[in-house]
Amino acid sequence: MLVGLSIHDIVLIDRLTLGFDRGLSVLTGETGAGKSILLDALSLALGARADSALVRRGASRGVVAAEFELAADHAAFALLADTVSVEPGEPLVLRRTVQADGRSRAHINDQPVSAGLLRQVGERLVEIHGQHDERGLLNPKGHRTLLDLFAGHGDLLDRVATAHRDRRAAADAVAAIEAELAAARADEDYLRHALDELEALAPEPGEEAQLALTRTTLMQGERLASDLAEYAGELEADGGVDATVRGLLRRMERLDEAARARLDPVMTALDRAAIEMGEAMAALDSLRHDLDHDPAALERAEERLFELRAMARKHQVQPDDLAALKDRFAERLAAVDRGDADLTAARAALADADQTLDRAVGDLRRSRAAAADALATAVNAELPDLKLDKARFRVALTPLDPAHWSADGGDGVAFEVATNPGADFGPLIKIASGGELARFILALKVSLARQNTVATLVFDEVDRGIGGATADAVGERLARLAAAAQVLVVTHSPQVAARGRQHWRIAKRTDADSTATTVEALDDRARREEIARMLSGAEVTDAARQAADSLMTR
């Protein structure tokens, strides 16, 4: 509930701090005293549009702060969870600052927030109802939610939401299969040809790298074989180095003994060279024999490698992706082959989902129709005492085209009134006059009291243009509402003021230099005088005081 309101430099208010209690609080004062300023200030703190005209003349800025105490599970805390550091259950302070040039800033618990977020939080804390208010009960967008709260059929709403989600998923599945099938059929000839090519090629992941390595190895073997043949040819030229050395040795062996003795070191070295040369030639021959050079294998490796790379270029993929591409093409063709069966099954599932949703929407519609009758009966029962005995209220339930069904069902809901016998029903905001509108809202709020979703209700001159028994009926209903929620009411009616648990008097003070609005909390004696003034006018009489006593002691 609202526990405090602080106002600085707003219109005619210099500095003002108010504390509010539970139950019914009334604000009274003479016409023009500035009662609307308080509501404008509260609205500003709740996120209403900022206007430089709200800043008191001569001030650089105006500031309004509203403090609320809420249950830990209040919806405002969930809304703030991701933006403002606040513990559920701790007080919330909504503050708005308006500069003289019209710029504004918004804070919640001293943390800066957007004006939009401030407004969303404010809507969950306070409802302000006045003759020209077009939000809350007057906004058709919220009528369906209010009717559902009144009906209390949350289980039906859950059924519809689930059925609608399942139906949407089934419809998406049908659309996806149809699109895939259409695309596959459009490319079927191409897919079959491409798949035939890829299956004939039979690519494997990693095959390109392996073929490239094999090709490099084989090419190196080919070059080495050529080099070895050249080496052998040079060593074997002109009979070969080995034959030349051994020929020299045979010639030296034919020399006389003395010559051989002198050439012995040479002959020993040549003999050793001949042996080693023979070993070298044998090793060279063995290496040439052992070298695995297969020109046909190199040709096969190159041909396979070039085929893979050409196919990859054709399909604009990497060679290693060809195997996966083949599988995708095969799956798309399989989708064509099984597409009709899959589509038939998906359409059958969609038909089942449609039936389930249709049943859920029908059950919810019947429950809404019963709740609409009950709400209309409750509201119409309130109207005679509120001097609206010729008026009629109804809840118009309009079936929507299935194409416009949502998780909230398939019904349009609107609160409508007819103010005179034989007159057509129409929206509250268009049919009822200012005074009638406020009383219609009161009748609705009383009928919906158990489903009230905000902690604080504000009524601005709900008793305008009425008096006597009708004003007393308004006061009685406001008091009834205050049993379940905090209610603030700006009133000119003594019958309504007398019902208040807390009473504030608003006055305008004027001197030679300035005009200011003041607000005074009244004790029982001051309340008696204020209610007597409201009864008698400018001159308070003893009879008016006695009448005030009578009203206050009911």
In which band, very low, low, confident or very high, does the pLDDT at 236 lie, cut at 50, 70 and 90?
A: low
Residues 4 and 143: their CA atoms lie apart, in Å, by: 31
Secondary structure of residue 454 in the 3-state scheme: coil
What was the pLDDT predicted at 134?
47
Q: Which residue from 507, 506, 493 is spatially nearest to 535, judged by alpha carbons?
A: 493
Q: Is the pLDDT of residue 64 over 90?
A: yes
Mean pLDDT, range 98-125, rounded to an integer: 93
Contact at 8 Å (CB) between 17 and 520?
no
Dihedral over Cα of 214, 220, 222, 225: its sign: negative
Poorest-confidence range of 24-33, 381-390, 490-499? 24-33
HSE on the CB side for 425, CA within 13 Å?
10
In which band, very low, low, confident or very high, does the pLDDT at 234 lie, cut at 50, 70 and 90?
A: low
Class of the CATH domain delimited by 1-128+446-521: alpha beta
What are 275-325's pLDDT values in tens digits? 877 777 777 676 666 555 567 777 787 788 888 888 889 888 898 888 888
Poorest-confidence range of 105-119, 122-136, 253-267? 122-136
63 or 342, higher pLDDT: 63
Q: Which residue from 228, 230, 262, 268 is spatially nearest to 248, judged by alpha carbons?
A: 268
Residues 110 and 92: their CA atoms lie apart, in Å, by: 10
The helix (H) or strand (E) run that includes residue 549 is helix 542-552
Rg (CA), the chain: 49
The answer to whether the predicted template modeling score (pTM) of the entire model surpasses 0.85 is no
Instruction: Determine the straight-line distance between the first and last CA of the chain, rounded to whole angstroms.
Output: 26
Mean pLDDT, range 228-232, rounded to an integer: 69
What count of other Cβ atoms lies within 10 Å of the Cβ of residue 81? 11
What are 160-190's pLDDT values in tens digits? 999 999 999 999 999 998 888 887 777 777 8
